[in-house]
Chains A and B, each alone.
Chain A
Amino acid sequence: MWDYSDKVKDYFFNPKNAGVLGEANAVGEVGAISCGDALKLMLKVDPETETIQDAKFQTFGCGSAIASSSALTELIIGKTLEEAVSITNQDIADFLGGLPPEKMHCSVMGYEALQAAIANFRGEEWHDDHEEGALVCKCFGVDEGVIERAIRMNKLTSIEQVTDYTKAGGGCLTCFDKLEELLAKVNGELVAEGLLAEHAAYRIGGSDAAELKAKAKAKKEAEKAPVREVAAQATSPIAPSSPLPPPSAGMTNLKKIRLIEEAIEELRPYLKKDGGDCELVDVDGNNVMVNLKGACMGCQMASVTISGIQERLIAKLGMPIRIIPVKNTH
């Protein structure tokens, strides 16, 4: 598992300001259950002074999502909206003594929720509304604005970093071209503003697109394998339901064979009902040779039948038994 700082652990196990804030007058919601991350940030803002008097959160997410959300509330309570609006995701991560790189998206989620809540209070439109064309990564519902902000604020320079910080690109990677484009564009701006060294900036083609895409394609192929609903099978009586007798050491061969015969006799009506049958051929030590007939033979459920008989015998005899299907010798 992740190497979390003590502070992350503390804020996870003892989250501060968790729950619903009844008197909230500013709410920011980001993420979705389908993406595995969601945060609802509720603020109580004094309308006169625009001071955040209270903040609470609810989050669906991993350890760092809970810790980040909790840290965020600590950071903003007592601040004015003016002060709060300039808090970055890096501030959240720093407050926690750092987050694993792959978990930086949790801090970005906190930042986004805060911006959304402030916009909500001010009656402004928060640009997280996926208007036409703004949604870049469909797998994780990440739009252009989130990606651009994350790149700019954290001076990201690789596709992998963009994924760590926003989750965009963490799935099928169909969004690769767009991610590259945004990364190159924002890096270009940062260079122009003197905030990023030119040699560090990302250029289109800077990561092996073919490699990444091929990987993504193979993954997608694997996933689009047909999924068919199979009607639930009625529970078969083959599986033993009663607890075992104690392991029967020193059982005579005759007794063993009798028990095996008995068990098979008990099962036959069920097998016959399915158009099959099972016959005892031989017993050799713990190996029980049976002849599966009719529908049981060669059918795709044969091994289920075998393991069912096996389980039944193990239960009955209290010793390891192997069922060996043998071809019809008669």
Chain B
Amino acid sequence: MRPVYLDNNATTRVDPVVVDAMLPFFTEQFGNPSSIHSFGASVGVSVKKARQQLQQLLGAEHDHEIIYTASGTEADNTAILSALEAMPGRDEIVTSAVEHPAVLALCQHLEKTGRAKVHYIGVDSLGRLDIEAYRNALSDKVALVTLMWANNETGTLFPVEGLAELAKEHGALFHTDAVQAVGKVPIVLKGSAIDMLSLSGHKLHAPKGIGALYVKRGTRFKPLLRGGHQERGRRAGTENAPGIIGLGKAAELAIEHMVDEQTRVKELRDRLEKAILQRIPNCFVNGDPRERLPNTSNIAFEYVEGEAILLHLTRQGIAASSGSACTSGSLEPSHVMKAMNVPFTAAHGSIRFSLSRDNVPEDVDQVIEALPKILEKLRELSPFWDGANKDPKDFKPVYA
């Protein structure tokens, strides 16, 4: 049985080309890029090149708009804390109810400690931002708007460029957590109203432990980590040269594979989704069918519990993930499913399949083959299944 990996929104395999690009920086090119001697200087040159590769991927105007961090979480935290400090007289944050914990947990902490008032904007049943509520929350008290580009669970895309323009009208800074979007959808920061953007290496075939924060030139900024002069004083700490170089290479590859991501990967995803919806009764797609990441499919299976599905999939060599409470140790379904008002009958049984350029048609075939039997088996066990409507054609999700 061939292992099938469909959990790329959790993490991706490091591309072997990326590994090759990194290896010399562990051995012969070990210098500190900030040193002026030859050991360091040559590494410095490579770091500079990597920065330009990432600049290309982001469509940023200047390479020095990129600050390397240790993770997407650090980038998010830096952006939020910097904005609060850099915008005196403003102490409100606008964010959404479906953000990643890297943003939500910090916002909740800031709220709890009285450092900021936070507006959590809701979403509709497709996970789309409530634009009216967003407009209403904006005012000249808002220091920062932080909204994700793409949702990690459903893949739903927020129209961040437009949302950023609205934030500008009130003089607020705009940050986007683009950890899931970078490398999957084309991004052009030059000319946009986006001030800051976070990304994470391991979501785009670079290693873990490297992330970046884009800060548009001219944006008020306060560093999170103070110390040495690395990253032009905006993020102290010796540069993770191998990670930076790996991320640069990964960015270059992402540009090359963008077409593949938007077409072949998307087609694989669509084929998988279509086959599941056709063959398995009482399931539906969570998220915006149109404005969605090309690689993500989150499907709610009614009357069964997600962890049980995952355990069966795992045994058949298929890796996916679940928004189900039971997998995470929390007891309630994911905050995203709750914010979308996904009915309980389905929220507990949501499975996320996230593909990447590594996937091949056989991967999809394997899932299509395995999944209907798993669902049949588990539903036989379910006390709620007896009375359920078994004809997929007649099935309408309660909230549709």
Flag if B186 contacts A314 (CB, 8 Å).
yes
User: Is B383 part of the binding interface, using a Cβ–Cβ cutoff of 8 Å?
Assistant: yes
Name the residue on A nearest B255 (C-beta). A320
How near does chain A come to B167, taking the closest CB pair, in angstroms? Answer: 11
Count of chain A to chain B residue pairs whose CB atoms are closer than 8 Å in the complex: 203
Is the C-beta of B133 less than 8 angstroms from some C-beta in chain A?
A: yes
Q: Inside 8 A of A322's CB, which chain B residues have their CB?
A: 59, 186, 188
Complex CA distance for A311 and B333, rounded to whole angstroms:
33
Name the CB-closest residue of B to A233: B290
Q: Does B143 contact A (CB under 8 A)?
A: no
Which residues B79-122 have CB closer than 8 A to chain A? 96-97, 104, 107-109, 111-112, 118-122
* A98 CB–B CB distance under 8 Å: no
Q: Is B45 an interface residue (CB 8 A)?
A: no
Q: Chain A nearest CB: distance from B271 CB in Å?
A: 12
Binds A, one of B26-34, B209-217, B276-284, B308-316: B308-316
Q: A223-B97, A227-B124, A303-B160 are in contact. Are A243 and B263 (CB under 8 A)?
A: yes
Name which of B197-205, B299-307, B361-369 contacts chain A: B299-307
Contact of A298 with B165 at beta-carbon distance under 8 Å, contacts A65-B305, A218-B108, A243-B263 already known: yes
Measured CA separation A61–B379 after assembly (Å): 11
Instruction: Report whether A29 and B383 are in contact in the complex, using a CB–CB cutoff of 8 Å.
Output: yes
Q: Which of A31-39, A46-54, A251-259, A261-269 contacts B (4 or more CB under 8 A)?
A: A31-39
In this complex, what residue of A is CB-closest to B120?
Answer: A225
Whether B259 and A320, one on each chain, are in contact in the complex, defined by CB atoms closer than 8 angstroms, is: yes
Q: Are B382 and A300 in contact (CB under 8 A)?
A: no
Which residues from 39 to 58 on chain B have a C-beta closer than 8 Å to any C-beta of chain A? Answer: none
CB distance from A247 to the nearest CB of B (A): 6
Binding site for A on B (CB under 8 A): 59, 96-97, 104, 107-109, 111-112, 118-126, 128, 130-133, 157, 159-163, 165-166, 185-186, 188, 190-192, 255-256, 258-259, 262-263, 267, 290-291, 303-308, 310-312, 314-315, 324-327, 329-333, 335, 338-341, 344-345, 348, 380-384, 386
Q: List the interface of chain A (C-beta within 8 A of B).
A: 1, 9, 12-13, 15, 18-20, 29, 33-34, 36, 38-40, 58-63, 65-66, 102-103, 139-140, 163, 167, 170-171, 214-215, 217-219, 221-223, 225-230, 232-233, 235-236, 239, 243-244, 247, 287, 298-304, 306-307, 310-311, 314-315, 318-326
Q: A222-B120, A230-B124 are in contact. List 14 more A-B contacts (CB 8 A).
A: A1-B311, A13-B311, A18-B380, A62-B308, A63-B308, A65-B305, A170-B332, A171-B331, A221-B108, A221-B111, A227-B339, A230-B130, A301-B159, A304-B291
